[in-house]
Amino acid sequence: MSAAPKQLHDAGQSLWLDSITREIVTDGTLKRYIDELSLTGLTSNPTIFDKALHGGDDYDEQIAELLAAGKSGEELFFELAITDLRGAADLFRPVHDRTDGVDGFVSLEVSPLLAYETAATTRQARELHARADRPNLYIKIPGTPQGLDSITESVAAGIPINVTLLFDAAQYRAQADAYMKAVERRVERGEDPAIESVASVFVSRWDVAVSGEVPDELENRLGSAAAIRAYVAYRELLGSDRWQRLENEGARPQRLLFASTGTKDPVLPKTKYVDELAAPNTVNTMPEETLLALAERDSIGELLPADGGDNEELLAEFTAAGIDLDALAERLQVEGAEKFEKSWADLLERIGGKESAVGAAG
């Protein structure tokens, strides 16, 4: 077993893969990562599935079957995705069972076209989780202002949720409030409050956004700094009276997840964000190349202190350099939602092309 991934896992951070293809699920690659690289979960999004569908003919046989059954478009896509994620969920099921449901999850995203419709998002989250029929599958809902009610309604209904598209501590706290409202509702109704959830804070997009706009000594340092501020908020919340009352009722912490941890600048070490965000009781979901780069390492550095160390001083330097951190976080979330919609449109276009090609071949 590779040293650095195991050390991170043993320190209390879960390593998840931010990628899925049918090939890695079926050819033994994912199982090998679980056995050798301490991998304990997986996330997906429309862009990831778009790339997987573009990569070859692995999906053609199932597409032909689904077309024959009268399925197309979004409905056909979800059937393909659920097939892949069921396979991955089954591979992670021993992890899920061993950790009593804390780890070993895979994630499937609701349609971003429902972003502004609470009832429709909640309904689709319930339907997708039921269709997948796996206890270790998260449904991803964006933690935008429009998504907060859907998060509350879905968790209150007992659906494990991956809250995605968070960028700063304020957005983290807002969705944490939505999550705790749901848990409080379950406690009031006498229902099991232990509904698993993660809150996904995106990292690398910060550095891309301010590239060339800050002094050289601040380049590629904002992503981790923003994520560390969110981590401090997370640790503070776990110590709050509100959360501890819920924990006394049997609730489990909603773990913080570091997402978008692949480096965009080719001059940077591939493990930069992994190195800087090594923190207990969190998750880091990383691209395959980042995981493999980490596997080549013999050790990890120091773990993040609960108070973030001197992180606030670093963030103050960005403010002094003219960066409005609150406004940028809001902009990144809005842009992220727009990118989700574009990725979804691209994915459905890819599905349409596959439908035509497979239908013609049939």
Q: Write out the catalytic residue numbers.
A: 140
Q: Please, which pLDDT band fits residue 92 given cuts at 50, 70 and 90?
A: very high
Tokens of 163: 């809250």
Q: Mean of the per-residue pLDDT values for the chain?
A: 94
Task: Give me the phi and psi of 220, to 5 degrees please.
Answer: 60, 30
How many Å apart are CA 324 and CA 328, to the nearest integer?
6
The CATH number that applies at residue 206 is 3.20.20.70
Residue 194 has pLDDT above 90, yes or no: yes
- Cβ(92)–Cβ(41) under 8 Å? yes
Residue 48 has pLDDT above 80, yes or no: yes
How many Å apart are CA 348 and CA 74, to the nearest integer?
7
By residue range, what is the domain housing residue 158? Answer: 3-361
- Percent of the residues in the chain that have a pLDDT greater than 90, as a whole number: 83
How many Å apart are CA 14 and CA 257, to the nearest integer?
9
Which pLDDT score, from 0 to 100, does residue 114 have?
A: 85
Q: Please, which pLDDT band fits residue 355 given cuts at 50, 70 and 90?
A: confident
Over range 35-54, report the average pLDDT: 91
Residue 1 has pLDDT above 70, yes or no: no
Which pLDDT score, from 0 to 100, does residue 329 have?
A: 98
The H-or-E segment that residue 125 falls in is helix 118-132
Which pLDDT score, from 0 to 100, does residue 54 have?
A: 81
Residue with structure tokens 């598209």? 165
- Cβ(44)–Cβ(108) under 8 Å? yes
Q: What is the pLDDT of residues 122-175, one digit of tens each?
A: 999 999 999 999 999 999 999 999 999 999 999 999 999 999 999 999 999 999
Counted domains in the chain: 1
- State whether residue 50 is helix, strand or coil: helix
Residue 52 has pLDDT above 90, yes or no: no
